[in-house]
Amino acid sequence: MFGLKNYTGMVGLAVAALCATPAAADDDWRATYNLYGTAGIIDTPSAVLPKDGEVAGTLGFFGETQRGTLTFQLHPRISGSFRYSFIDTYDRSFDLRYQLAHEGEIRPAIAIGLRDFIGTGRYSSEYIVATKTIGSDVRVSGGIGWGRLAGVGGFTNPLGVIDEGFETRPDDSIATGGTVLTGQFFRGDAALFGGVEWRVNDEWTLLAEYSSDAYERETDRTSFERNSPLNFGVTWEPRPGRQWGAYYLYGSEIGVSGTFTFDPTSRSVPSGFDSAPLPVAVRGQSLLAAASWDTAEQESGGINGLGQVLATDGFRLLGAEVTGSTMRVRYENNTYRAEAQGVGRVARIMSQLAPANVDTFILEPTRRGIALSAVTLRRTDLETLENTAGASAESLARATFSDAAGPAPEFSYENPDPAFLWGAYPYLELTVFDGDEPLRADVGVEATFQYELRPNLLLAGTYRHRLEGNREEVGAISASTLPDIRRTGLRYGSESGGGIENLFLSWYGRPGRDLYSRVSLGYLERNFGGVSGEVLWKPVDSRLAIGAELNYTLLREFDLGFGFRPACSDLNCTVFTGDNYDVVTGHLSGYYDFENGYQAQVDVGRYLAGDWGATFSLDREFDNGWKLGAYVTLTDVDFEDFGEGSFDKGIMLEIPTDWTVGTPTRDTVATTLRSLERDGGSRVRIDGRLYDVVSGGHETQMADNWGRFWR
């Protein structure tokens, strides 16, 4: 039914990602994922939406067709999908669906959707569908579709009463794909489709549907036969998050599917394995508290004691001082993902060690050696609220946030930990969506180091040595008139078997109130070396931030050594111009942190291929650290000059390691799924951009995570 080569490509899609309430009246009946990897019956959609935030990865196979889909429930009413398919060729497509109405006692759930609205249009269709639950175990769906969903039983578009233009469906797709097919939306003939789901028990569901898809491309170009519009199937869900399906399709084919779902709003280990924090010490009862810090000897002993206790809980003390009845501590949280949890733990340690006359704590969390904010807490509040109902909300209401710009505490702490850190680890690097080979992979050994000259001055680097893999094969590259910035990226390290991934020096600073700065110099990433400078304006209590970045970079040699290479003058980068390729790039950036974890970013400026344009990004971060997002970059490069894909776009997924293992850590696993990597709209990939460093220590994000203050 399908070749091993194609199967590995579909598996590669699922591996690369590794996974609102339901619309149905019966809240515990989860959405059924169909062969398209979206909520539906078998091949047709339904109006049921998955749980808010749910991530699903689906593999579906029948005949010579294979589909791998990632679906994200971006909002209680909005879901988006990215699909990689094989029909007679490989194809990438995006879906979007919006639920117009939840299901009520009488009213059905109603959804409107776009299938393959960005891409080649091979699956292009639009629909409006309604779903109603009958009793507790039957769901009935019916809708009207356009495009592929109007291939059988079509009739004149009813939207023609609004405008006769709706009666004709133009072909506005282009050879390079990747364009938004707005000219086709809800145009041309329409047709009806529908289906039913019967939940036999908690694990098994029987399915039947009438499909209006004619499967013209498949019947013309493959051995697929469409003998009937009826499809039948069964799904088995042996445990939450796992759905298996088997189907008899179109009177001729057997199909199977598997779906794995993940819930970013929960934790893999619900309670976690965090060590218990020190309790708040009521003044006069702690055996650790110093009588005072009035003498140099007492100050030295107090700071050393505080530094040692903080270190046992995963913090690094940078400095501390007592002025009158106020104690100020500047520290770095190296263990806990949420800065709010770090603030709570450090405050409790301070209550154990601060002199009895101290009534006010000022905590200054830092990242990369720069103070992020000053959180002021009253010691009395800690003593009275620790074990009371609603302590988290009340402690947040009584806390104050301000800027921490200015000198560090008068007394610094000499950290006994080594300034030089290094490690060696195995690595796996995947490349997916290549037109010749859907999955490529390298395995090898990666060595990293970091040397801290000062808390805000870091020298870091990574070296990789590949042991096995096939990522040196560049594969299919469509034509482009742009300089070779990314499209032959697989050649880096291919002949040498590895090399220097990056090697750079970064300096972070606080040039003024609400201002942050960064300068990076060296081999910044695999493709480029040079110098990068950045400034960020971000008030502690503001949801808005504005940044500016300027870079001068040169294109690195393919061997990942210390040299730089000239630009290519041919498609496969075998003929060079003779002059090193260097470019000045820069962007003005705006950031806004909405409520409910939504964060928007707009970057406007010049990109590495010399093109000018803007990147629009929208992320959603959940309280447990999961982050989902999407971006699109549009520049002054014509779609034809850009090449396959027409413009840069992608989906971002970041999973915190503590969600997986349960133990506290700031590490994350992140991936960006692009339909393919091209040259236009490309920026330098720099470690430690300022907004990512700073925002977690400001009021908005700390308030979102304040529920972890007492953990």
Q: Does position 116 have pLDDT exceeding 60, yes or no?
A: yes
Name the pLDDT band for 476 (thresholds 50, 70, 90): low
29-48: buried (b, 16+ CB within 10 Å) or exposed (e) per residue?
Answer: bbbbbbbbbbbbbbbbbbbb
Q: Which residue has the tokens 């396959």?
A: 644
Q: Over range 444-466, report the average pLDDT.
A: 94
The span from the CA of 127 to the CA of 148, in Å, is 10
Helix (H, G, I), strand (E, B) or coil at 274: coil
Q: Does position 270 have pLDDT exceeding 80, yes or no?
A: no
List CB contacts of 208: < 8 A, sequence separation 6 or more.
41, 195, 196, 230, 231, 232, 233
Q: Does position 488 have pLDDT exceeding 90, yes or no?
A: no
Nearest to 217 by CA among 315, 87, 125: 87
Q: Over range 213-220, report the average pLDDT.
A: 94
Our count of domains for the chain comes to 3
Q: Over range 658-678, report the average pLDDT.
A: 82
In a domain, 424, yes or no: no
CATH number at residue 399: 3.30.300
In a domain, 24, yes or no: no
Q: Over range 452-473, report the average pLDDT.
A: 89
Confidence at residue 650, expressed as pLDDT on a 0 to 100 scale: 84
Q: Does position 23 have pLDDT exceeding 70, yes or no?
A: no
In a domain, 356, yes or no: yes
The pairing of strands 109-119 and 90-101 is antiparallel
Beta carbons of 525 and 689 less than 8 angstroms apart: no
Query: What is the amino acid identity at position 429?
Result: E
| Range of lowest pLDDT (369-383, 526-540, 568-582, 620-634) | 568-582
Q: Are residues 412 and 441 in the same domain?
A: no
Task: Please give the mean pLDDT across all residues of the chain.
Answer: 88
Beta carbons of 109 and 132 less than 8 angstroms apart: yes
Q: Does position 24 have pLDDT exceeding 50, yes or no?
A: no
Angle between helices 296-312 and 339-353 (to 10 degrees): 140
Name the pLDDT band for 472 (thresholds 50, 70, 90): low
User: According to the per-residue pLDDT averaged within each range, which of 144-153, 411-420, 427-436, 475-484 is highest?
Assistant: 144-153
Q: Does position 19 have pLDDT exceeding 60, yes or no?
A: no
In a domain, 488, yes or no: no
In a domain, 423, yes or no: no
pTM of the model: 0.86
Percent of the chain with pLDDT over 70: 91
Express each pLDDT in 50-85 by its tens digit.
Answer: 999 899 999 999 999 999 999 999 889 999 999 989
Q: Does position 489 have pLDDT exceeding 90, yes or no?
A: no
Q: Are residues 375 and 438 in the same domain?
A: no
User: According to the per-residue pLDDT averaged within each range, which of 193-197, 273-277, 491-495, 623-627 is highest?
Assistant: 193-197
Dihedral of CA 45/50/53/58: which sign? negative
Query: What is the amino acid identity at position 152?
Result: V
Confidence at residue 571, expressed as pLDDT on a 0 to 100 scale: 63
Name the pLDDT band for 271 (thresholds 50, 70, 90): low
Name the pLDDT band for 13 (thresholds 50, 70, 90): very low
Confidence at residue 274, expressed as pLDDT on a 0 to 100 scale: 77
Query: What is the amino acid identity at position 657?
Result: T
Q: Are residues 346 and 224 in the same domain?
A: no
* CA atoms within a 13 Å half-sphere pointing along the CA-CB vector of 387: 4
Confidence at residue 434, expressed as pLDDT on a 0 to 100 scale: 64
Q: Are residues 313 and 384 in the same domain?
A: yes
Q: Does position 14 have pLDDT exceeding 80, yes or no?
A: no
Confidence at residue 504, expressed as pLDDT on a 0 to 100 scale: 98
Confidence at residue 62, expressed as pLDDT on a 0 to 100 scale: 95
Confidence at residue 477, expressed as pLDDT on a 0 to 100 scale: 61
Q: Are residues 227 and 317 in the same domain?
A: no
Q: Are residues 258 and 402 in the same domain?
A: no
Q: Does position 21 have pLDDT exceeding 50, yes or no?
A: no
Q: Over range 676-697, report the average pLDDT.
A: 92
Q: Are residues 47 and 163 in the same domain?
A: yes
Percent of the chain with pLDDT over 90: 62
In a domain, 425, yes or no: no
* Structural domain containing residue 654: 433-452+462-471+498-694
Confidence at residue 178, expressed as pLDDT on a 0 to 100 scale: 61
Confidence at residue 484, expressed as pLDDT on a 0 to 100 scale: 85
More confident residue, 692 or 492: 692
Q: Does position 22 have pLDDT exceeding 50, yes or no?
A: no
More confident residue, 601 or 417: 601
CATH number at residue 126: 2.40.160.40
Q: Are residues 252 and 309 in the same domain?
A: no
Q: Over range 609-627, report the average pLDDT.
A: 91
Q: Does position 268 have pLDDT exceeding 60, yes or no?
A: yes
Q: Are residues 218 and 366 in the same domain?
A: no
Confidence at residue 475, expressed as pLDDT on a 0 to 100 scale: 55
- Residue 654 β-bridge partners: 627, 670
Q: Are residues 194 and 339 in the same domain?
A: no
Express each pLDDT in 353-389 by its tens digit.
Answer: 999 899 999 999 999 999 999 999 999 999 999 889 8
In a domain, 487, yes or no: no
Name the pLDDT band for 614 (thresholds 50, 70, 90): very high
In a domain, 4, yes or no: no
Confidence at residue 93, expressed as pLDDT on a 0 to 100 scale: 87
Name the pLDDT band for 608 (thresholds 50, 70, 90): very high
The span from the CA of 486 to the CA of 609, in Å, is 9
Q: Are residues 467 and 616 in the same domain?
A: yes
Confidence at residue 604, expressed as pLDDT on a 0 to 100 scale: 98
Express each pLDDT in 636-648 by its tens digit.
Answer: 988 777 776 677 8
User: In the chain, what is the straight-line distance between the N-terminal and C-terminal CA atoms, in Å?
Assistant: 53
Q: Are residues 406 and 531 in the same domain?
A: no
Q: Over range 207-229, report the average pLDDT.
A: 95
User: According to the per-residue pLDDT averaged within each range, which of 167-176, 600-609, 627-636 is highest?
Assistant: 600-609
